[in-house]
């Protein structure tokens, strides 16, 4: 009895003391001491003295901060400093550029759901909605993507319309002639245009993303703003931004572009300026740009500006026509005809005041870029991806109702329904993440990690949805021409996957690489304390971290053994279980992430198998929480529940499977075993969506009332019935839905043997002749069947015409 009580008391007191709770360690000692004395467990003065001595030692060592700092934290600080990776200036700037938002809650292991549900997701204001209903609709009606591919450019009238309606100046404040739109509106515009033409969407989104406009708004001098912003807003100057080089793609900070501070002649006067040499590629809008934003490393070898020789990455604006600036050559990005090309210059001279922000921003270019990307990465490509996902979902769902094989709409076949259910679920969660991320940016956040998540995982979602849609459309999907709905967008998928940080890099190095440092509640404070050599701050962060690990270990083990029913969440409906299960996996994720950080240290940077799986888990926690908030904000509609259930089953499986993968591959097998026991004491629990869940999601998409179908595609452009492809397909479904009651009468008559089996128009004629349907119903059936026949046709070309196609 004595030994058992001593062990229990020691464990509790030690745990409390290690968590920095010295006072509670004393309480534990007194409580267990009294119990032991009362039960006769401690019947030896020696045993009591030993127990008391242990408690006093632990309480003093860990419970008194001044003692703890010098005896424990000081040596620990040296050990941690030795295993942490070196953080250079560029990486430090990248880490500090953004803000931590809901991602911090998810990383903590104990997300505050009520705070998240209380967050307001922006709706468009009246002016923004008018723009969507007016100029955006008008633009989409003007676009003929097939013709754009043949001519390799937007038509001149489209270029003029974009400039006239200020599409290129959505982010520029109104006082400079721009639209001054919110991130939510910017995102909505790109989403709708991308459902009509990828080339047009890219043309609109690039000037409103990372580039001269964004950088000038936040960092430009008054003179620069007054001159350039009105010209950018009305399209007088089309901007591009030259960052990528042949040897500096994902590692953009290692570019070879350089500028040497020197004196030279500019417009007849001798001025301090920069001698620039650079070779940039993959620069969107470069062939038509009126002003080039240029990133380069600035050097001052002669000390003209001061003592610092390597000033650092700097951004400057170079007007078209500047002597030595070479633009105009085009790349061919998989045949997608948006403007993209090279920007070059050798020993060209520009004045020093071409630097964005003036001389005081010399060397501040990397910070500018990282701060801008922290927000911009969360808008452009995620919006384009949602547009592609929604048109995939809508058109494939429509096709599954219109196209018949074996006497049935193909949407009745389970192989097709499996793809439809997946597309419906993905479109639902992707748009949820798009909208809430844009709203976070409008609220003043610069969510670096969240932006990386939606860029990488929504573009991957686009790839999945487009693949599924192409599989369903089959031959119609691979036959090029004006009728083809997906082929041109399908070709563009790798572009979205690659730009603004290739997904391979983004997944491993940003989502978890930066996430582990920035979103972890104690990791970066420890790093900062070590860099500042601040023992007190390190002590606070270290024991906060220990407390954090202990809490997550306790929560994870308890939830793993006893289930999630006791987890308190702010909703009471059927969806409460989803919040509870996601909370449990958040706790397991936080625990396993800490085990990976503690056992791998700086080597985790190179263990991309591990960091990639942790990124997958983290990303799907964010996506799943976005779907839960969307469902909550929309009033928990029952017709959306099948989509939510699919999303949550898929997400929970992805999260758990990723974490199990980490544990199976963690090099320190003892740590992996301990983490497995704590996080998954009874093993994994989640499976992919069941057949029933998949079928329910597909049924929701194909339901006769069309409400879910409309809800899943309300952000995209629905063309007129005369528009080849999507327009004719939608028109056919409208006519089929109108004729369906009469069609059912004809089918019923055939089953009864009242008419012989034949084509539907023939059977309908016989049914009319037999008094089964009337003339109006016959007309409706014939119109529907003619439209169905037209909708499933594909394009064909004479040989001489085909030879000219691009």
Q: Which residues are catalytic?
A: 500
CA distance 338 to 283: 11
Q: Residue 98: which residues within 8 A CB-CB, separation 6 or more?
A: 370, 371, 374, 375, 446, 447, 448, 449, 451, 518
Comparing CA positions, the residue from 364, 657, 608 lying closest to residue 510 is: 608
Taking a C-beta distance cutoff of 8 angstroms, is the pair 311, 249 a contact? no
Q: How far is CA 156 from the centre of its chain?
A: 33
CA distance 167 to 316: 24
* Region class of 615: left (phi > 0), else alpha (psi between -120 and 50), else beta: alpha
Two tokens, residue 213 = 């406009």
> What b-and-e string marks burial along 395-432, b requiring 16 or more CB atoms within 10 Å of the CB?
bbbbbbbbbeeeeebbbeeeebbbbbbbbbbbbbbbbb
> What b-and-e string marks burial along 122-158, b requiring 16 or more CB atoms within 10 Å of the CB?
bebeeebeebbeebbeebbebbbbbebbeeebbeeeb
φ, ψ for residue 661, nearest 5 deg? -60, -40
Give the angle subtended at the CA of 472 by the CAs of 469 and 473, to the nearest 5°.
85
Give me the DSSP letters along 348-412.
Answer: EEEEGGGBTT-GGGTT-HHHHHHHHHHHHTTTHHHHHHHHHHHHHHHHHHHHHHH-EETTEEGGG
Taking a C-beta distance cutoff of 8 angstroms, is the pair 500, 381 a contact? yes
Taking a C-beta distance cutoff of 8 angstroms, is the pair 652, 621 a contact? no
Output the CA torsion sign for 406, 409, 412, 417: positive
CA distance 322 to 181: 32
Q: For 223-374, where are the E strands, in sequence order?
A: 239-242, 258-266, 269-284, 291-299, 310-319, 326-330, 340-351
Give me the DSSP letters along 680-710.
Answer: -TT-----SPPHHHHHHHHHHHH-TT-HHHH
274: which strand partners? 261, 350
> What b-and-e string marks burial along 465-487, b requiring 16 or more CB atoms within 10 Å of the CB?
bbbbbbebbeebbeebeebbbbb
φ, ψ for residue 307, nearest 5 deg? -80, -20
CA distance 394 to 423: 9
Two tokens, residue 609 = 């198998």
Q: Residue 179: which residues within 8 A CB-CB, separation 6 or more?
A: 131, 166, 169, 170, 171, 172, 233
Two tokens, residue 573 = 């409906």
Query: In whole angstroms, how large is the CA radius of gyration of the chain?
Result: 31
DSSP for residue 113: H
DSSP for residue 142: H
Give the angle subtended at the CA of 496 by the CAs of 200 and 244, to the nearest 5°.
95
* Helices 641-665 + 669-679 axis angle, to 10: 150
405: which strand partners? 408
């Amino acid at each position: 009895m004595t030994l058992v009580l001593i062990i229990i008391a020691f464990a509790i007191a030690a745990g409390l003391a290690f968590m920095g709770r010295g006072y509670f360690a004393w309480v534990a000692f007194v409580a267990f001491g009294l119990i032991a004395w009362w039960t006769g467990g401690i019947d030896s003065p020696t045993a009591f003295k030993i127990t008391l001595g242990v408690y006093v030692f632990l309480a003093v060592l860990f419970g008194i901060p001044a003692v703890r700092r010098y005896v424990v934290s000081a040596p620990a600080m040296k050990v941690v400093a030795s295993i942490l990776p070196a953080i250079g200036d560029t990486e430090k700037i990248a880490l500090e550029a953004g803000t931590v938002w809901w991602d911090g809650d998810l990383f903590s292991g104990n997300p505050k759901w009520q705070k998240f549900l209380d967050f307001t997701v922006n709706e468009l204001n009246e002016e923004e909605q008018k723009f969507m209903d007016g100029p955006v609709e008008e633009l989409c009606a003007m676009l003929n993507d097939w013709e754009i591919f043949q001519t390799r450019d937007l038509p001149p009238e489209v270029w003029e319309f974009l400039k006239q309606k200020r599409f290129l100046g959505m982010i520029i404040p109104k006082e400079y002639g721009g639209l001054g739109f919110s991130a939510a509106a910017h995102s909505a515009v790109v989403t709708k245009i991308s459902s009509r033409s990828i080339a047009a969407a890219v043309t609109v989104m690039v000037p409103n993303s990372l580039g001269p406009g964004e950088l000038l708004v936040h960092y430009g001098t008054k003179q620069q703003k007054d001159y350039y912003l009105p010209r950018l807003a009305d399209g007088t100057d089309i901007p591009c931004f030259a960052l990528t080089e042949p040897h500096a793609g994902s590692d953009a900070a290692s570019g070879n572009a350089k500028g040497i501070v020197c004196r030279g002649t500019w417009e007849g006067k001798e001025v301090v300026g920069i001698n620039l040499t650079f070779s940039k590629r993959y620069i969107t809008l470069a062939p038509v740009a009126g002003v080039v934003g240029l990133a380069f490393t600035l050097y001052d070898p002669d000390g003209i500006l001061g003592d610092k020789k390597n000033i650092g990455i700097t951004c400057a604006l170079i007007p078209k026509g500047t002597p030595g600036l070479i633009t105009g050559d085009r790349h061919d990005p998989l045949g997608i005809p948006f403007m993209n090309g090279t920007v070059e210059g050798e020993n060209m001279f520009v004045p020093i005041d071409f630097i964005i922000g003036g001389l005081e921003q010399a060397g501040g270019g990397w910070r500018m870029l990282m701060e801008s990307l922290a927000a911009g990465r969360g808008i452009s490509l995620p919006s384009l991806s949602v547009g592609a996902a929604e048109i995939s979902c809508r058109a494939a769902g429509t096709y599954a109702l219109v196209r018949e094989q074996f006497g049935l709409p193909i949407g009745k076949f389970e192989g097709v329904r499996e793809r439809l259910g997946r597309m419906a679920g993905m479109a639902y969660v992707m748009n949820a993440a798009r909208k809430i991320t844009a709203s976070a940016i409008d609220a003043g956040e610069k969510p670096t990690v969240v932006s990386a998540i939606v860029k990488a995982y929504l573009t991957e979602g686009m790839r999945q949805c487009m693949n599924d849609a192409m599989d369903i459309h089959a031959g119609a999907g691979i036959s090029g021409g004006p009728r083809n709905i997906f082929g041109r967008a399908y070709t563009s998928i790798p572009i979205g996957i690659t730009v603004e940080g290739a997904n391979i890099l983004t997944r491993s190095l940003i989502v978890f690489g930066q996430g582990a440092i920035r979103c972890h509640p104690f990791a970066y404070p420890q790093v900062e304390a070590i860099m500042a050599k601040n023992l007190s701050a390190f002590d606070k962060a270290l024991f906060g971290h220990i407390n954090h690990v202990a809490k997550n270990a306790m929560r994870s083990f308890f939830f793993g053994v006893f289930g999630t029913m006791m987890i308190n969440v702010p909703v009471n409906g059927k969806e409460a279980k989803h919040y509870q299960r996601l909370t449990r996996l958040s706790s397991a994720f936080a625990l396993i992430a800490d085990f990976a950080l503690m056992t791998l240290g700086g080597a985790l940077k190179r263990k991309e198998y591990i960091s990639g799986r942790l990124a997958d888990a983290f990303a799907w926690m964010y996506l799943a929480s976005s779907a839960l908030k969307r469902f909550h904000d929309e009033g928990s509609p029952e017709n959306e529940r099948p989509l939510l259930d699919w999303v949550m089953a898929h997400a929970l499986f992805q999260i758990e499977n990723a974490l199990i993968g980490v544990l199976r591959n963690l090099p320190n097998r003892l740590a992996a075993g301990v983490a497995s026991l704590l996080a998954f004491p009874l093993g994994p629990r989640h499976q992919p969506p069941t057949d029933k869940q998949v079928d329910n999601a597909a049924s929701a998409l194909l339901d006769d009332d069309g409400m879910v179908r409309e809800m899943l595609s309300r952000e995209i452009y629905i063309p007129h019935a005369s528009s080849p492809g999507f327009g004719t397909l939608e028109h056919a479904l409208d006519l089929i839905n109108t004729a369906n009651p009469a069609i059912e009468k004809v089918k019923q008559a055939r089953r009864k043997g009242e008419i012989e089996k034949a084509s539907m128009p023939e059977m309908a004629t016989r049914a009319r002749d037999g008094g089964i349907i009337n003339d109006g119903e016959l007309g409706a059936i014939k119109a529907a069947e003619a439209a169905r026949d037209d909708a499933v046709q594909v394009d064909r070309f004479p040989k001489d015409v085909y030879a000219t196609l691009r």
